């Protein structure tokens, strides 16, 4: 069995904030707050562990149809993140990138995102991607439309370059917390050969050592990319 070391690109579907809050008799937004606190520490831990690219699913296109109170609360958390939590990324040389449909987000949040991307653009030691108002299928359709406009047959590589994740590597390890076993429209093209790891822990409880355990599990996998069993 191949020992593959640390996965280069890790994706995390951060699920379970709502249930974490409900189990404690708290408002859902408290769960998202706890999720953000956990996420901040997990980002540090992931890059310390040697991960090169980390992609976090923060809000799907479909999540936008949740009650306004919840989406507004999430937007406020995002505002807080993009105003207050960028210096550690700059310090580490991590570049920040946000994928998703920005036209679905409040204009002031989009400006904060652009500002954060600008502040981190020189980062060459890691890449942190947030998927916000993001849908994998929608992203594939947008890439198809770009290809149609170009009027040329595409290769896998040229098509991948037209996705909002163009330039990133394929996902090696995809983690989903919260006990559900589905992809929920996250980076479908990019995760085609990802090793998938499901954790029963709700995201606010997903500790640094839970991430280490997922990384350890990845090391035991035998990635063949559809080739022979030998
Ligand atoms: C899914 O849990 C989680 C979300 C929709 C939001 C995730 C957001 C954060 C962790 C904060 C991130 C902050 C930034 C800056 C990106 P859920 O609400 O679907 O939980 P449930 O399945 O238990 O209801």
* Per-residue pLDDT, 216: 96
In a domain, 230, yes or no: no
Share the mean pLDDT of the chain.
Answer: 95
* Per-residue pLDDT, 2: 42
- Number of domains the chain contains: 1
Say whether 3 is catalytic: no
pTM assigned to the model:
0.95
Which residue's alpha carbon is nearest to atom 14 within ligand 1?
78
CATH number of the domain encompassing residue 93: 3.40.1180.10
Say whether 222 is catalytic: no
Indicate which atom in ligand 1 lies nearest the CA of residue 202.
23
φ, ψ (nearest 5 deg) of residue 103: -70, -10
Cβ–Cβ contacts within 10 Å for residue 224, how many? Answer: 11
pLDDT category at 222 given cuts 50, 70, 90 is confident
Per-residue pLDDT of 81-95, as tens digits, reads 999 999 999 999 999
In a domain, 229, yes or no: no
* Per-residue pLDDT, 229: 59
In a domain, 210, yes or no: yes
State the distance from the centre of ligand 1 to the C-alpha of 32, rounded, in angstroms. Answer: 5
Per-residue pLDDT of 42-73, as tens digits, reads 999 999 999 999 999 999 999 999 999 999 99
Indicate which atom in ligand 1 lies nearest the CA of residue 85.
15
Helix residue ranges per DSSP H, 27-135: 28-48, 68-84, 87-92, 107-120
Which residue's alpha carbon is nearest to atom 16 within ligand 1?
58
């Amino acid at each position: 069995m191949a020992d593959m070391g640390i996965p280069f690109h890790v994706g995390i579907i951060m699920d379970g904030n709502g249930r974490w809050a409900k189990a404690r008799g708290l408002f859902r937004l408290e769960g998202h707050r706890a999720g953000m606190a956990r996420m901040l520490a997990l980002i540090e831990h992931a890059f310390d562990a040697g991960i090169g690219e980390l992609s976090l699913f923060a809000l799907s296109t479909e999540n936008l149809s949740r009650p306004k109170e919840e989406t507004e609360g999430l937007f406020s958390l995002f505002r807080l993140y993009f105003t207050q939590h960028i210096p550690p990324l700059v310090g580490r040389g991590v570049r920040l990138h946000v994928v998703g449909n920005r036209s679905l987000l409040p204009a002031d949040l989009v400006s904060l995102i652009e500002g954060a991307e600008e502040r981190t653009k020189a980062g060459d030691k890691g890449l942190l991607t947030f998927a916000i108002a993001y849908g994998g299928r929608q992203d594939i359709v947008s890439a198809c439309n770009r290809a149609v406009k170009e009027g040329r047959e595409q290769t896998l590589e040229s098509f991948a370059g037209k996705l909002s994740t163009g330039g990133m590597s394929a996902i090696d390890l995809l983690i989903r917390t919260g006990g559900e076993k589905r992809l929920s429209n996250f980076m479908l093209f990019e995760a085609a050969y990802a090793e998938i790891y499901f954790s029963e822990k709700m995201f606010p409880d997903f500790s640094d050592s839970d991430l280490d355990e997922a990384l350890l599990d990845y090391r035991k996998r035998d990635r063949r990319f559809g080739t022979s069993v030998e």
